Amino acid sequence: MNPSPHTAPRGEAVITGIGLVTPVGIGREQSWQGFLEGKSGIAPPRDWDCSGEDVQLAGEVDVNFEEQFLAKVKIPFARRFGRFTKFALMAGQEAVEQAGINIEQTDPTRIGVVLGIGGGATHYLGPMGDAIKAGDAKLFDRTIDHYFVIKTMYNAPAGMISIQHGFQGPSTMVSAACASGSVAVTTGLDWIRSGRADVVIVGGAESTVNREALQAYWRVRALTNKNELGAAACRPFDRDRSGFVMAEGAGILVLESAQHAAARGAKVLARVMGASMVSEAFKIATPQLDGSGMARAMTDALADAGLPRTAITHISAHAPSTPQGDLAEARAINLAFGDHTKNLSVTAPKSAFGHALAASSAIQTALLALSLQRGVQIPTQNLDQQDPEIELDIVSGAARPSTDAYAMINAFGFGGHNVSLVLGKA
């Protein structure tokens, strides 16, 4: 498949700031080093005894996060916000500080915020359910304090980043299941291309590690129950993969028009060359197994970037470690890239931290930008026996040095939301 003729290159944005909060590390450098070294963020959940349950693993941010958040994030009444909002605020502050964005030098009405959200604040529902089951009205009242709305409102991350930094441009949240982070990046790119904003804070945040969410995703057979494998349970592209591990975290990036970044002398980390969003219009929780819907997202992203498929040499795969999802994506890559597939290297970051739903593709976009900047591809973990039906060159075992000029990120969400992004080296 070649790039679709109905689209044409429409310009690019540049990445000038990156912030990360992941199960592998708190902060950009700690996260990057953890992924590079093959560290795992997957372990039994901390907040409840899951020993008798079907799912006994999750990818949680370090137990010291709250302490670090309160010490580092510059905002009044920091304790009152929901966990996913705190992830976004901390990662956002790191990204904004690296980019050197401030409203004294940049028109605040030209700075926007768009973030992705999927499950949101489901962990606040557990105490409410417990109180209802116990028939304890007083306990129920205590679970809904005067901060409950602020903690659970889906738009809080975008709103609070705008408030924290005084950004007065467009501000919103988008939701497209596991593709939400990439939809946010695509939206930010569109705002810059259209002239709606000069700078856009983009990314995703999620905090759905709780008993209710794990049970719900287990019921649709999305999660693995290979609890005995521990940190090795998330196995993208492996013959014995059986589902993903629920995770949490945030990835935030600062996008700017190339002209705006150059005018203020900003250091460019990577370029966002093109993007696509397509719908499979197939099934709510199952991809087309021939990979055709996913392949269309990839070819459309190439067309949007104005690049031939031979320009791409590396792919950060969606690869959630589900039997059908990984196979469909492998087929899609072969369909989109044809004979050039043999020249591609592919990595699956979720093997290290699980699947943080809306945050995953934002985290992967940040990692890929760092990969292009630093000339190294992060490894896929737990690939002991590659599925013989998956004919791809998987980066596994150890990090791999690279000279990639262009690379792609895939994100495919329930509902048939397929998104691909093309990044370029700065």
**Which of 123, 165, 178, 260 is the catalytic position?**
178
* Token pair for 388: 């013989």
* Token pair for 80: 């009152």
Whether 50 is a known active-site residue: answer: no
Whether 234 is a known active-site residue: answer: no
Which residues share a beta bridge with 26? 21
Local structure of 180: helix, strand or coil = helix
**Which of 123, 165, 260, 355 is the catalytic position?**
355
What does 263-299 look like in DSSP terms, one character per residue?
Answer: HTTPPP-EEEEEEEEEE--S-SS---TT-HHHHHHHH
How many CB atoms lie under 10 A from the CB of residue 311? Answer: 18
Longest dimension (CA), the chain: 65
* 223 DSSP 8-state letter: B
**Which of 123, 260, 318, 417 is the catalytic position?**
318
Our measurement of the distance from residue 351's CA atom to the centroid of its chain's CA atoms, rounded to an integer in Å, reads: 13
Our measurement of the distance from residue 160's CA atom to the centroid of its chain's CA atoms, rounded to an integer in Å, reads: 19
Local structure of 104: helix, strand or coil = coil
> Exposed e or buried b for every residue in 138-148, given b needs 16+ CB within 10 A?
eebeebeeeee
Q: Which of 114, 36, 93 is nearest to 373 (CA)?
A: 36
Whether 417 is a known active-site residue: answer: no
Active site residue ranges: 178, 318, 355
